[in-house]
Amino acid sequence: MFMKERNVIVDYCKLLMTRGLTKGTGGNISIFNRESGLMIISPSGIDYARMTPEDIVVCDLQGNIVEGERNPSSEYPMHAIFYQKRTDINAIVHTHSLNATVLASLRCSLPAVSYLVAYAGKDVRCAEYASFGTPELAENAYKAMEDRYAVLLANHGLLAGAGNLATAFDIAEQIEFCCEVYLKSKSIGEPAILEDAEMERMAERFKTYGQK
């Protein structure tokens, strides 16, 4: 089932490593098929370099395996809650990228230090802490990502969502870059923060940015 999606998830899981967005087996990726109501998600604790499409798990939103020999990511509740409650999100990328995790460990939100933050919203909030893989973490992430497409997870990492996987991955990468910009600028002085009106204009511009 869903071999196209499985192959795509494997490709993007490998990109997590090559783009410096995680370490070890940290992070996870999923795609939601709304027609079937099934989630295609990376497995728990598998080395990305050795991951194959057969390792990818197909399950329902309660984590029941429909097809696959592996256990789904322990963070499947954090993916499922967005698919249940957000019709604009059909793919999730969760990373342990360094700068986002540093900022999340400070339990700070990411303000509009760059217009690129607008990929996610006018800012990126930091969700309250909860243990990984728990319903509490899923709820905290969902609440903090209201009207946004990314959220920092306290003492943990970053989560990004979008209508498709390519966009969700791009958001995760752009927000990691913006976290680095914010942390480095704070080490020198106090960065100028863009106004909400400008961020709203940038969000509209991004809707038509790039190729059709």
pLDDT in tens, 96-143: 999 999 999 999 999 999 999 999 999 999 999 999 999 999 999 999
Fill in the amino acid letter for 179: C
Give the sign of the dihedral formed by CA 135, CA 5, CA 69, CA 12. negative
What gap in Å lies between CA 62 and CA 83, rounded to an integer? Answer: 11
Residue 207 pLDDT class (50, 70, 90 cuts): confident
**Containing structural domain, residue 192:** 3-206
Active-site option among 35, 54, 69, 75: 75
Report yes or no: 158 and 100 within 8 Å, Cβ to Cβ: yes
In CATH, what number is assigned to the domain containing residue 101? 3.40.225.10
Q: What is the pLDDT of residue 211?
A: 67
CA-to-CA separations, 98 to 183, 195, 199, in angstroms, rounded: 11, 27, 25
Structural domain tally of the chain? 1
Strand-pair category, 150-153 with 126-127:
parallel
135, two tokens = 């319903």
Is residue 210 scored above 90 in pLDDT?
no
Partners of 95 in the beta sheet?
Answer: 158
pLDDT averaged over every residue in the chain: 96
Residue 116 domain-assigned (yes or no): yes
212 is a domain residue: no
> Active-site residue 200, yes or no?
no
- Summarised one tens digit per residue, pLDDT across range 38-70 is 999 999 999 999 999 999 999 999 999 999 999
